[in-house]
């Protein structure tokens, strides 16, 4: 894949020169990549002359960047669209035009079905073609129901305008950067290979340039994101293979970048070089989000995960040997088709063995077009609900234990915003815990050494140890 970092997108300067102020609201659902894509769509809207709307009622352009991973996510969007169609109608009566765009994975998966269920929608655009949003908006001026769910040959990143300094600064000192997209693994429960398409990595030069620009505008922490981020593979300018561990080392050398995270990883791509990066690269957070989904080998095989429980435990052991203070988090699915009670208990055993700092657990949700949706032995919702409650209770206990064990430790905290009480600032530890401390507002945006002095259910209290180091 080639990627130039200068955008070939030209702003409609005539409209901006006329001083027409229009406003856009981009709302993100679902994963971190949607947050990133939403920011890039907001950048495009800004070049089209749209200022950021303070609230959706005042937006002339409304973009919902949607998720399709579970049924609940999709239904939530249809109910939101119902409300927005009423808003659009009210605005029309007041003589104001509203353009309604559905982007993201629901758009990709359902396409024209969205227009059928909600005719107020003007544009449907998938995750691989949203760089064409300006043209699609222009088309929507002259005809209703514009759909673009292509997987175009051109690389969207090279067509997107870079974020402005102001936009970067507004978004804060921690940023996401997509480095890899799509998935070729086809886990039998998952829609991602169908909605995001085949696995592709972005060129290292373009990534480093983007991160350099972020750092120059005050970003101190980057999360390298991808559906299969540890499958990242590219070539450098001299044709040498670059893997995620190499990319992490290169990002660590970008002036201003103090902390690096990456998500989400698949166990089968957790190679030794990446484990070694956890040992060697100081800026790499000692935190690993590594979804295991189930603690049963039979369920893992049926899920097409292509590894066994023992392989997962081996990675955990290697990661802990490389970086003793590393903490783990995971995703779990309960009530996968055919999951028996003993198989569910095996998941609890795995959790007891590993001890996670935080995790996400979900009830299995059949997704149209995926193999698991057609499997026999679909589990009753009541069983899923009770398994989910039991697993979540255990994960929550482990999270609280991890938080309590943080008392007395010293963490680098990246302060993000003022705290709830005056004179406090709040930020994140290396382990993603919320940490608040007495401190001046000028600390927002800085990485500061903090000693943890108390642990509440949802946040830690800290005492600032070192003066701020930008
Ligand atoms: N049902 C429930 N959870 C799912 N996930 C992905 N697909 C489904 C599904 N059909 C979960 C997995 C994945 C996370 C992002 O969402 O745990 O790791
Ligand atoms: Fe979905 Fe599996 Fe790919 Fe993750 S690895 S995105 S769960 S298909």
Going from N- to C-terminal start, the domains of the chain cover: 3-148, 156-333, 410-464
Q: Indicate whether residue 258 lines ligand 1 (CB < 6 A).
A: no
Task: Give the number of whichever ligand sits closest to the CA of residue 267.
Answer: 2
**What does R_g of the chain's alpha carbons equal in angstroms?**
23
Number of Cβ within a 10 Å radius of residue 7: 17
Matching fold, domains 156-333 and 410-464:
no
Contact by Cβ (8 Å): 96, 89: no
Q: Ligand 2 centre from 187 Cα, in Å? A: 5
Q: Ligand 2 centre from 288 Cα, in Å? A: 17
Q: What angle do CA 190, 195, 197 make, to 5 degrees?
A: 100
Test site for ligand 2: of 180, 181, 192, 306, most ligand atoms within 8 A of the Cβ = 192
> How many Å apart are CA 16 and CA 50, to the nearest integer?
9
* pLDDT score of 21: 85
Q: Indicate whether residue 183 lines ligand 1 (CB < 6 A).
A: no
Identify the CA nearest to 182 among candidates 198, 168, 159, 169: 198
Q: Indicate whether residue 364 lines ligand 1 (CB < 6 A).
A: yes
> How many Å apart are CA 222 and CA 414, to the nearest integer?
11
Closest-lying ligand 2 atom to the alpha carbon of residue 266? 5
Question: Cα-Cα-Cα-Cα dihedral of 200, 205, 207, 212, to 10°?
Answer: 180
* pLDDT score of 468: 53
Closest-lying ligand 2 atom to the alpha carbon of residue 264? 4
* CATH architecture of residue range(s) 410-464: Beta Barrel (2.40)
Helix axes 244-252 and 204-216, enclosed angle (nearest 10): 30
> How many Å apart are CA 145 and CA 147, to the nearest integer?
6
Pairing of strands 61-66, 99-104: parallel
Please provide the DSSP assignment of 390-445 as one string.
HHHHHHHHHHHHHHHTTTT-EEEEEEEEE-SSTTEEEEE-TTS-EEEEE--GGGTT
Q: Indicate whether residue 379 lines ligand 1 (CB < 6 A).
A: no
**What is the 8-class DSSP label of residue 44?**
H
Question: Cα-Cα-Cα-Cα dihedral of 387, 355, 290, 278, to 10°?
Answer: 170
Superfamily of domain covering 3-148: Methylthiotransferase, N-terminal domain (3.40.50.12160)
Contact by Cβ (8 Å): 413, 270: no
> How many Å apart are CA 261 and CA 230, to the nearest integer?
12
Q: Ligand 2 centre from 280 Cα, in Å? A: 28
Nearest CA residue ID for atom 2, ligand 1: 364
Residues with CB under 6 A from ligand 2: 183, 185-187, 190, 192-193, 227-228, 266
* pLDDT score of 11: 47
Test site for ligand 2: of 190, 294, 303, most ligand atoms within 8 A of the Cβ = 190
Q: What is the pLDDT along the chain (470 residues), one digit of tens a residue?
A: 333 333 434 445 555 455 558 999 999 999 999 999 999 999 999 999 999 999 999 999 999 999 999 999 889 999 999 999 999 999 999 999 999 999 999 999 999 999 999 999 999 999 999 999 999 999 999 998 999 999 988 889 999 999 999 999 999 999 999 999 999 999 999 999 999 999 999 999 999 999 999 999 999 999 999 999 999 999 988 999 999 999 999 999 999 999 999 999 999 999 999 999 999 999 999 999 999 999 999 999 999 999 999 999 999 999 999 999 999 999 999 999 999 999 999 999 999 999 999 999 999 999 999 999 999 999 999 999 999 999 999 999 999 999 999 999 999 999 999 999 999 999 999 999 999 999 999 999 999 999 999 999 999 999 999 765 54
Closest-lying ligand 2 atom to the alpha carbon of residue 193? 8
| Beta-carbon contacts of residue 123 (< 8 Å; ≥ 6 apart) | 99, 100, 101, 102, 133, 136, 137, 139, 140, 146, 147, 148
| Beta-carbon contacts of residue 422 (< 8 Å; ≥ 6 apart) | none
Q: Ligand 1 centre from 295 Cα, in Å? A: 15
Q: Ligand 2 centre from 438 Cα, in Å? A: 41
* pLDDT score of 466: 74
Closest-lying ligand 1 atom to the alpha carbon of residue 190? 7
Q: What angle do CA 431, 435, 440 make, to 5 degrees?
A: 135
Task: Give the number of whichever ligand sits closest to the CA of residue 291.
Answer: 1
Quick one: how far is CA 445 from the chain centroid? 21
Identify the CA nearest to 28 among candidates 38, 16, 15: 38
Q: Indicate whether residue 196 lines ligand 1 (CB < 6 A).
A: no
> How many Å apart are CA 306 and CA 36, to the nearest integer?
29
* pLDDT score of 269: 97
* pLDDT score of 374: 97
Q: Indicate whether residue 365 lines ligand 1 (CB < 6 A).
A: yes
Task: Give the number of whichever ligand sits closest to the CA of residue 373.
Answer: 1
Q: Ligand 1 centre from 190 Cα, in Å? A: 6
Pairing of strands 460-464, 200-201: unpaired
Number of Cβ within a 10 Å radius of residue 465: 12
Q: Ligand 1 centre from 378 Cα, in Å? A: 16
Superfamily of domain covering 156-333: tm_1862 like domain (3.80.30.20)
Identify the CA nearest to 156 among candidates 134, 183, 123: 134
Closest-lying ligand 1 atom to the alpha carbon of residue 331? 17
Predicted TM-score of the model (pTM): 0.94
Query: Which is it for the CA torsion 445, 451, 454, 458, positive or negative?
Result: positive
- DSSP three-state, residue 110: helix
Q: Ligand 1 centre from 340 Cα, in Å? A: 19
């Amino acid at each position: 894949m080639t990627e130039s970092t200068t955008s070939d997108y030209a702003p409609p300067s005539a409209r901006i020169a006329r001083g027409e102020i229009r406003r856009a609201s981009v709302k993100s659902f679902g994963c971190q990549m949607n947050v990133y894509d939403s920011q890039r769509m907001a950048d495009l809207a800004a070049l089209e002359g749209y200022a950021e709307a303070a609230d959706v009622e005042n937006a002339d352009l409304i973009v919902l960047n949607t998720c399709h991973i579970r049924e609940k996510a999709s239904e939530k969007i249809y109910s939101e669209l119902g409300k927005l169609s009423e808003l659009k109608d009210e605005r029309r009566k007041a003589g104001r035009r509203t353009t309604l765009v559905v982007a993201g994975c629901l758009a990709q998966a359902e396409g024209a079905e969205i227009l059928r269920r909600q005719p107020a929608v003007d544009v449907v655009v998938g995750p691989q073609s949203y760089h064409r949003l300006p043209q699609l908006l222009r088309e929507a001026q002259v005809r209703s129901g514009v759909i673009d769910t292509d997987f175009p040959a051109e690389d969207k990143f090279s067509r997107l305008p870079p974020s402005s300094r102001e936009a970067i600064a507004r978004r804060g000192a921690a940023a996401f950067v997509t480095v890899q997209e799509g998935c070729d693994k086809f886990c039998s429960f998952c829609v991602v290979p169908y909605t995001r398409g085949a696995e592709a990595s972005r060129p290292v030069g373009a990534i480093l340039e983007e991160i350099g620009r972020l750092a120059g505008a005050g970003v101190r922490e980057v999360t390298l994101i991808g559906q299969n981020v540890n499958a990242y593979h590219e070539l450098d300018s001299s044709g040498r293979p670059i893997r995620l561990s190499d990319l992490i080392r290169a990002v660590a050398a970008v002036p201003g970048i103090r902390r690096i995270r990456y998500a989400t990883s698949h166990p089968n791509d957790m190679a030794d070089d990446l484990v070694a990066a956890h040992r060697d690269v100081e800026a790499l957070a000692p935190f690993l989000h590594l979804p295991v989904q189930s603690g049963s080998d039979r369920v893992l095989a049926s899920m097409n995960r292509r590894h066994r429980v023992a392989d997962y435990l081996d990675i955990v052991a290697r990661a802990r040997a490389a970086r003793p203070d590393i903490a783990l988090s995971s995703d779990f699915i309960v009530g996968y088709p055919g999951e028996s009670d003993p198989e569910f208990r095996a998941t609890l055993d795995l959790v007891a063995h590993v001890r996670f700092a935080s995790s996400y657990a979900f009830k299995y949700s059949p997704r149209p077009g995926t193999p698991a949706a057609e499997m026999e032995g679909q589990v009753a919702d009541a069983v899923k609900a009770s398994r989910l409650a039991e697993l979540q209770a255990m994960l929550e206990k482990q999270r609280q234990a991890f938080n309590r064990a943080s008392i007395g430790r010293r963490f680098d905290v990246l302060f993000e915003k003022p705290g709830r009480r005056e004179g406090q600032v709040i930020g994140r530890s290396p382990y993603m815990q919320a940490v608040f401390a007495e401190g001046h507002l000028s600390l927002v945006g800085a990485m500061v050494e903090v000693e943890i002095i108390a642990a509440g259910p949802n946040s830690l209290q800290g005492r600032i140890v070192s003066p701020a180091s930008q």
